[in-house]
Amino acid sequence: MINVTKPYLPNREKYKSYIDSIYQANWLTNNGPLVQELEKRLEDYLGVKNILLVSNGTLALQIAYKLLDLKGEVITTPFSFVATTSSLMWENLVPVFVDIDPDTFNLDPSQIEEYITRETSAILPVHVFGNSCEVEKIASIASRNGLKVIYDAAHAFGVKYKDKSVLDYGDISTVSFHATKLFHTIEGGALIIKDDALFAKAKRLINFGYEKGEIVELGINSKMNEFSAAMGLAVLDDMEEILRKRKEIWEKYHEALEGKVGFQKMNGNSTNNYHYFPIVLKDESEVLRLQQALNKQQIYPRRYFHPSLDTLEYLQPQAPMDISRDLSERILCLPIYPDLGINEVEMIISVVQAIQVEGH
């Protein structure tokens, strides 16, 4: 069976050596030595400062909203995983959708200002499938209008924009280290926080509001545990190999399917982390036919992202986001993960090509 992705498991002996150190220290959570080590190593690897590890990417977003004291409306994209929107609702913020660029799949910056009202406190774009947003345009819109910017960078691990980490843009970026992600800690996530005082506050918020044994403000529990950090350290050691294999698969798909299906247009100032391989088909019936043909061979691509978030029942009534709705009906993400063999990639390509021939 081939799924859209498969969690990466590092060498068992290496993972075990980290686990042995947890047994030795008998320190399982609460900012343990492995969490501290992983934070340092990620800062070096990614080239950013102020990384705070947390228990998942959704809580990373929620902590970010609290840190920046967001109120009222937040401008965001309808083309994302549900957590981008649901985390806002959970914090009593109102998601205001702005449609996407049909080529890049990211929030269209040219439409943002139409949607800013006196209630708007922030912009929450997503680097969809690791494709960098128009970060400079978004920064100038935010500063002209006195808004905060939080990037949901759940897919953008390791991506560089103009030679600098894309996680460095905005007031805060958040990432997800869920098991299905490029880099993972089983469950986990992180905040990358520009301002040092906010970084100090974030450390309190994720630990019930404690500082030096005193409860100094309202907080919650979103700490990462040592077993997760151990997985992160072991996976981080293999990043070069993980990226090399993903790149090989990505390029194979790209070369074979170019001109036959639609692709995401990648930001020319940005590197690619080969996290996903989305293809865009003629219409939804073609997506369903391809999905069925692949399923027959025990291959399970995913309809990321479907449905468009502006159609969620709990958000109605809602102005339709036409481009996002259209894309979410026509997109399919093909399997991509380091363990996927080139012969399996070739088989997937041949099923995609057969559907194309059949449809014409």
Quick one: which of 96, 154, 235, 294 contacts ligand PLP (CB under 6 A)?
154
Closest CA to 90 of 222, 223, 224: 222
Quick one: which of 79, 81, 227, 253 contacts ligand PLP (CB under 6 A)?
81
288 to 63, 86, 300, 301, 329: CA distances (angstroms): 38, 27, 12, 11, 10
Q: Contact region for ligand PLP (CB under 6 A) — 54-62, 69-77, 132-140, 219-227?
A: 54-62
Q: List the interface residues with ligand PLP, window 195-234 (CB under 6 A).
A: none
Structure tokens at 246: 């993903």
Q: Please report whether residue 170 would count as binding ligand PLP according to CB under 6 A.
A: no
Q: Contact region for ligand PLP (CB under 6 A) — 20-28, 80-88, 159-167, 213-221?
A: 80-88
Count of CB atoms within 10 A of residue 67's CB?
Answer: 21
Q: Please report whether residue 56 would count as binding ligand PLP according to CB under 6 A.
A: yes
H helix or E strand, kind and range, residue 51: strand 51-54
Q: Please report whether residue 308 would count as binding ligand PLP according to CB under 6 A.
A: no
Q: Please report whether residue 83 would count as binding ligand PLP according to CB under 6 A.
A: yes
Q: Please report whether residue 178 would count as binding ligand PLP according to CB under 6 A.
A: yes
Give the nearer residue to ligand PLP in terms of CB position, either 178 or 204: 178
Please give, one letter per residue, the 3-state secondary structure of 245-272.
HHHHHHHHHHHHHECCEECCCCCCCECC
Quick one: which of 63, 112, 123, 126 contacts ligand PLP (CB under 6 A)?
126
What single-letter amino acid sits at 277? F
Cβ at position 346, least distance to ligand PLP in Å: 28
Phi-psi region of 20 (alpha: psi -120 to 50; beta: other; left: phi over 0): alpha
Cβ at position 296, least distance to ligand PLP in Å: 28
Closest CA to 163 of 269, 279, 298: 269
Give the nearer residue to ligand PLP in terms of CB position, either 154 or 280: 154
Cβ at position 158, least distance to ligand PLP in Å: 15
Q: Is the dihedral of CA 251, 252, 253, 254 positive or negative?
A: positive
Closest CA to 257 of 350, 329, 358, 130: 350
Residue appearing with tokens 């997985």: 231
Q: Please report whether residue 302 would count as binding ligand PLP according to CB under 6 A.
A: no
Strands 331-334 and 277-280: antiparallel
Cβ at position 308, least distance to ligand PLP in Å: 14
Give the nearer residue to ligand PLP in terms of CB position, either 111 or 180: 180
Using DSSP, state whether 57 is helix, strand or coil: helix
Give dist(CA 71, CA 68) in Å, integer.
9
Closest CA to 325 of 105, 172, 76: 105
Give the nearer residue to ligand PLP in terms of CB position, either 177 or 355: 177
Q: Please report whether residue 86 would count as binding ligand PLP according to CB under 6 A.
A: no
Q: Please report whether residue 77 would count as binding ligand PLP according to CB under 6 A.
A: no
Cβ at position 350, least distance to ligand PLP in Å: 29
Q: Contact region for ligand PLP (CB under 6 A) — 18-26, 55-63, 230-238, 276-284?
A: 55-63
Q: Please report whether residue 152 would count as binding ligand PLP according to CB under 6 A.
A: yes
Q: Which residue ranges make up the site for ligand PLP (CB under 6 A)?
A: 56-58, 80-81, 83-84, 126, 152, 154, 176, 178, 189
